[in-house]
């Protein structure tokens, strides 16, 4: 027995040189990858396969720096798929024996479990177009080829690996990139293709190194075709994957009183949307994500109907957004208790349609309703759109079962309207729920409500109406008056209003005060505002010739002191102030709103004795006045 490889591996192990943990192969002609990444398993399923198939325990921290080569990795994958193939065939054979059915001449296994024992011959024609949302094909390497290369094929485009998770399109002048998981279970396009040319593989497989094997574990179909062909009597039951040890993402179920039954699968959060024919449909709770997950009646097999358009939320966000975890049996009991879980497809009690101006609408019992607001638990409030004014409102449940609850008057009080032309453009319940989910998030962000269906922390579960129904929108209270902030900078009064700063210019005998904008660059601003005795806005003359921005509070910028409008009115009434320029020259003006009725020049007025806008009095013994 040749012990040279083992001796070299054992001798170099103490210097932490890289070698395979299973075969002790050095990284000369093999690509190595670590089992652990920062103390956590890089691929937990791989460790389970090694323990179950090879009976070798890989633990931390003993194997902190251990790695596995690509040859051992592909051998494990092939053996794992071969074992699943044998178990699947055994289940079919036993089922045929029980049913006493004749054995077929040849057993055609599923394409997912098909493992070629020998390299297949080159195909005579080009490969067919990818039918799913994505399909990753991993090209196994040939140990004799140097250097070692890997490729991924997604929808006909060939990608080469640039880093551990970064793959670059090989089409010239195309910078499309893919973000691929370490275990090649999922891929996400980072950028769009710059060209429509596709580099398809032809019969000459020598262009790419080695043979390829499929690594897709889920059946991906199109959402539109599913909605057209979703017949529970014709569609076969999803296979139960308990008898076959196929790696699946971990699934956890939660039951919340406000939002109902939810599920976390593969770090994505889903909410129960519909139960029909023994199957359940789950909708991703991320904003504007249209991924729908279908599960069988036992909640053991799942398949996605579209692709996620976002990264999975963080673990901390998932922990805070989910509560009251229940077991799989508890979730199955909840689904069994649903009224639609009787083998029949649940027909909605309402019809969704799309109007040109108002968006999604609802028709129920011949009456049309418009969206008015949202409540906790995914409920929405709808108001009748009768042009004469109708107070009937409907509360629609957040699931596709479309349960209706009357929320306003018991009867409409008007005849049923004629069907409008926009009713022809009907919308399926699934699309309507997806669009309402995105509109709900936008309305919550605009109104300041903190319950957002994005996997983020829920700060408030019990909500009130976000928006007043359309039938009573004209009864809303007028908007509050704009806010005015008054400041005192030494002896000068200042005002901040609508992104501009003003100084006191005139004060009339009637109690009105005129304030001028302080902007003088590049040219003087002509805006003047007039306030009454109560410091309320009376008129706003001219328009600003500069850009109005949000001003920094004067208390932090100029060490000014903020005062109330009542203080300003009292000081102006007691002192009858003048403009700042005339004040410096010792001129006191009294303005009646139209013209200056009196101008007085102050003689021998010191800074301590002169009259100020902010309350200092002028001593009669230290000055004399001359009326002009």
Q: Which stretch of 130-139, 373-382, 496-505 has the lowest confidence by average pLDDT?
A: 130-139
- Give the mean model confidence (pLDDT) for residues 502-522: 79
- SS3 track for 365-423: CCEEEEEEEECHHHCEEEEECCCCCCCCEEEECCCCCCCEEECCCCCCCCCCCCCCHHH
More confident: 175 or 221: 175
Label residue 275 by pLDDT band (50, 70, 90).
confident
pLDDT at 85 over 80: yes
pLDDT of residue 196: 40
pLDDT at 472 over 50: no
Give the whole-angstrom CA distance, residue 225 versus residue 182. Answer: 31
Label residue 240 by pLDDT band (50, 70, 90).
very low
Has 20 been labeled as part of a binding site?
yes
604-614 per-position pLDDT tens digit: 333 333 333 33
- Indicate whether this model's pTM tops 0.75: no
Has 86 been labeled as part of a binding site?
no
Cα 2 to chain centroid distance, Å, stands at: 59
- Give the mean model confidence (pLDDT) for residues 71-80: 81
- Report the candidate in 432, 431, 454, 458 with the shortest Cα–Cα distance to residue 441: 454
More confident: 127 or 546: 546
Label residue 15 by pLDDT band (50, 70, 90).
very low
pLDDT at 502 over 80: yes
What is the pairing mode between strands 537-541 and 528-531? antiparallel
Q: Chain-wide mean pLDDT for the chain?
A: 62
Has 136 been labeled as part of a binding site?
no
Query: What spatial distance separates the first Cα and last Cα of the chain, rounded to whole Å?
Result: 124
pLDDT of residue 70: 81
* Segments making up each domain of the chain, as ranges: 1-115, 237-336, 351-412+422-472, 484-627
Q: Which stretch of 285-294, 469-478, 508-517 has the lowest confidence by average pLDDT?
A: 469-478
pLDDT of residue 264: 83
Q: Which residues pair with 207 in a beta bridge?
A: none
Label residue 17 by pLDDT band (50, 70, 90).
low
pLDDT at 616 over 50: no
Cα 191 to chain centroid distance, Å, stands at: 18
Give the whole-angstrom CA distance, residue 167 versus residue 190. Answer: 10
397-428 per-position pLDDT tens digit: 655 444 555 544 556 777 777 655 444 567 76
252 three-class SS: strand
Check if the beta carbon of residue 85 is closer than 8 Å to that of residue 115: yes
pLDDT of residue 36: 80
More confident: 224 or 54: 54
More confident: 536 or 236: 536
Label residue 287 by pLDDT band (50, 70, 90).
low
Q: Which stretch of 90-99, 432-441, 457-466, 552-561 has the lowest confidence by average pLDDT?
A: 457-466
- Report the candidate in 401, 350, 394, 351 with the shortest Cα–Cα distance to residue 373: 394
* DSSP 8-class letter at 240: P
Domain 237-336 = CATH 2.20.25.240? yes
Q: Which stretch of 68-82, 297-311, 438-452 has the lowest confidence by average pLDDT?
A: 438-452
Q: What DSSP letter does each residue of 5-44 carry, written as one string? A: HHHHHHHHHTTT---BTTT---TTSS-EEESEETTEES-H
- Give the mean model confidence (pLDDT) for residues 85-93: 86
Has 169 been labeled as part of a binding site?
no
141-162 per-position pLDDT tens digit: 444 444 445 667 776 677 777 7
- Give the mean model confidence (pLDDT) for residues 434-455: 53
Check if the beta carbon of residue 391 is closer than 8 Å to that of residue 408: yes
Check if the beta carbon of residue 568 is closer than 8 Å to that of residue 497: no
pLDDT of residue 602: 40
How far is residue 191 from each of residues 31, 103, 167, 168, measured CA to CA in Å? 28, 50, 11, 10
577-596 per-position pLDDT tens digit: 455 555 554 444 544 444 44
pLDDT of residue 473: 42
Angle at 452 between CA 447 and CA 453, to 5 degrees: 145
pLDDT at 198 over 50: no
- Give the mean model confidence (pLDDT) for residues 363-388: 73
Label residue 320 by pLDDT band (50, 70, 90).
low
pLDDT at 189 over 50: yes
113-126 per-position pLDDT tens digit: 343 334 444 554 44
Q: Which stretch of 177-181, 209-213, 296-300, 602-606 has the lowest confidence by average pLDDT?
A: 209-213
pLDDT at 564 over 80: yes
């Amino acid at each position: 027995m040749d012990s040279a490889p083992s001796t070299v591996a054992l001798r170099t192990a103490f210097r932490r040189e890289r070698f395979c943990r299973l075969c002790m192969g050095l990284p000369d002609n093999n690509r190595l990858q670590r089992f652990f990444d920062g103390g956590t398993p890089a691929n937990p399923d791989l460790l389970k396969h090694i323990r179950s198939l090879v009976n070798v325990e890989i633990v931390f921290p003993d194997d902190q720096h251990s790695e596995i080569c690509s040859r051992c990795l592909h051998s494990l994958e092939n053996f794992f798929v071969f074992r699943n193939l044998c178990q699947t065939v055994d289940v079919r054979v036993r089922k045929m024996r029980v049913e006493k059915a004749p054995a077929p001449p040849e057993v055609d296994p599923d394409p997912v479990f098909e493992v070629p024992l020998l390299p297949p011959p080159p195909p005579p024609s080009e490969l067919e177009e990818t039918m799913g949302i994505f399909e990753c094909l991993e090209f196994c390497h040939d140990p004799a080829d140097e250097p070692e290369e890997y490729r991924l094929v997604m929808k006909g485009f060939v990608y080469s690996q640039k880093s551990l998770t970064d793959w670059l399109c090989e089409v010239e002048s195309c910078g499309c990139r893919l973000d691929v998981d370490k275990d090649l279970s999922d891929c996400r396009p980072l950028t769009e293709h710059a060209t429509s040319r596709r580099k398809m593989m032809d019969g000459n497989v020598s262009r790419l190194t080695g043979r390829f094997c499929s690594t897709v574990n889920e059946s991906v179909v199109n959402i539109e075709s599913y909605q057209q062909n979703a017949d529970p009597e014709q569609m076969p039951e999803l296979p139960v994957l308990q008898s076959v040890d196929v790696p699946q993402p971990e699934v956890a179920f939660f039951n919340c009183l406000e939002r109902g039954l939810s599920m976390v699968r593969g770090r994505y959060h889903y909410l129960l949307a519909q139960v029909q024919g023994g199957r359940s449909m789950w909708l991703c709770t991320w904003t504007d994500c249209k991924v729908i997950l279908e599960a069988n009646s036992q909640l053991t097999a799942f398949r996605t109907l579209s692709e996620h358009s976002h990264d999975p939320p963080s673990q901390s966000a998932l922990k805070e957004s989910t509560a009251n975890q229940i077991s799989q049996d508890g979730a199955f009991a909840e689904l069994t208790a649903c009224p639609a879980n009787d083998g029949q497809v649940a027909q909605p009690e309402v019809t969704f349609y799309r109007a040109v101006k108002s968006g999604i609408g609802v028709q129920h019992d011949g009456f049309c309703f418009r969206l008015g607001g949202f409540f906790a638990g995914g409920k929405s409030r709808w108001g009748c759109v009768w042009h004469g004014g109708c107070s009937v409102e409907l509360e629609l449940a957040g699931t596709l079962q479309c349960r209706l609850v009357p929320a306003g008057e018991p009867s409409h009080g008007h005849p049923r309207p004629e069907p409008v032309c926009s009713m022809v453009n009907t919308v399926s319940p699934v699309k309507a729920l997806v669009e309402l989910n995105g509109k709900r998030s936008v309305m919550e962000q605009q109104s300041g409500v903190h319950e957002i269906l994005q996997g983020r922390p829920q700060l408030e579960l019990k909500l009130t109406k976000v928006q007043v129904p359309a039938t009573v929108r004209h009864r809303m209270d007028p908007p509050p008056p704009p806010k005015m902030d008054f400041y005192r900078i030494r002896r000068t009064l200042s005002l901040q209003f609508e992104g501009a700063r003003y100084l006191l210019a005139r004060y009339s005998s009637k109690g009105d005060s005129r304030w001028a904008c302080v902007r003088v660059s590049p040219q003087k601003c002509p805006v003047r505002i007039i306030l009454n005795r109560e410091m309320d806005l009376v008129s706003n003359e001219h328009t600003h010739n500069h850009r109005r921005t949000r001003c920094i509070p004067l208390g932090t910028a100029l060490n000014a002191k903020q005062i109330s409008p009542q203080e300003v009115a009292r000081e102006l009434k007691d002192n009858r102030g003048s403009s700042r320029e005339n004040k410096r020259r010792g001129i006191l003006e009294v303005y009646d709103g139209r013209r200056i009725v009196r101008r007085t020049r102050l003689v021998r007025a010191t800074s301590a004795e002169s009259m100020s806008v902010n309350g200092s009095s002028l001593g009669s013994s230290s000055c004399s006045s001359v009326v002009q």
